[in-house]
Amino acid sequence: MEINNSKKIDVVNNKENKLVYNFLKRTIDIIGSLCGLILLSPLLVVVGMLIRLDSKGPIIFAQKRVGLNGKEFKMYKFRSMVVNAEELKDKLKENNEMSGPMFKMKDDPRITRIGKFIRKTSIDELPQLVNVLKGDMSLVGPRPSLPKEVKSFETWMLKRLEVKPGLTCYWQVMGRNSIDFEDWMKLDIKYINERNFLLDIKLILKTFVLLFGDENAN
């Protein structure tokens, strides 16, 4: 009886800890995204103007991604490529440098001049603060995947959909494009299994370093 009672207490404590963690995480997401949008608004305006001057097309690129529990949402980014980038990707498939279903190419000819800079500094991701504020994403979590990428996931990889996707996670601060697809997925599962409030804060702080340039970004 004592063992059963102990197990029940552990289950209750785990639920309470999860509720507290989720509350703190959402609070940090709201405060962090609001402060980020306000403080970075001059930068956002300047980058928007540079994108418009650099090439024709919209300033913001919206794309369907897969979020919590497989729900799709529109993820926002500053446009860093030419407007017909998706059409050109088919012609570049043989140059893919990323294993798995995702496409990455170091010297991607589709990237614009200003696009190279904002991708190098991760500034192109800043509009996703709107996604965080809306609740589609979190500041910390696995990067959101495309629907067609999720369809190619192995069963164990689908665990990534148990949490909200995020702006940053282990992959974002540990090498990005120098990490192959399977190791990337393993890092995301590692985060999901280990996630806690202090780890989230640590990853957020590490991500600020990317604003000064990341040699593994492109």
- As a 3-state breakdown, the chain gives helix, strand, coil percent values, each rounded to 5, of 60, 10, 30
Instruction: Return the CA Rg of the chain.
Output: 19
Q: What is the pLDDT of residues 52-76, one digit of tens each?
A: 999 889 999 999 999 999 999 999 9
Complete DSSP assignment for 79-108: --B-TTHHHHHHHHGGG--SSTT----TT-
| CA geometry: angle 142, 119, 150, nearest 5 deg | 35
Which residues, in sequence order, are bridge partners of residue 77? 61
Q: Quick one: average pLDDT of 176-198?
A: 89
Question: What pLDDT band is residue 211 in, cutting at 50, 70 and 90?
Answer: low
The secondary structure element, H or E, covering residue 137 is none
Q: Please, what's the largest Cα pairwise distance for the chain? A: 72
Given a cut of 90, is residue 94 above it in pLDDT? Answer: no
Pairing state of beta strands 60-66 and 72-78? antiparallel
The amino acid occupying position 81 is M
Res 129: pLDDT: 97
Question: What pLDDT band is residue 96 in, cutting at 50, 70 and 90?
Answer: low
Res 174: pLDDT: 85
The amino acid occupying position 63 is Q
Q: What is the pLDDT of residues 97-120, one digit of tens each?
A: 556 666 676 778 888 999 999 988
Three-class secondary structure of residue 217 per DSSP: coil
Q: Quick one: average pLDDT of 160-171?
A: 95
- String of b and e for 66-103 (b: at least 16 CB within 10 Å)? bbbeeeebebbbbbbbbeebeeebeeeeeeeeeebeee
Q: What is the pLDDT of residues 166-186, one digit of tens each?
A: 999 998 888 766 788 899 999
Higher pLDDT, 84 or 26: 26
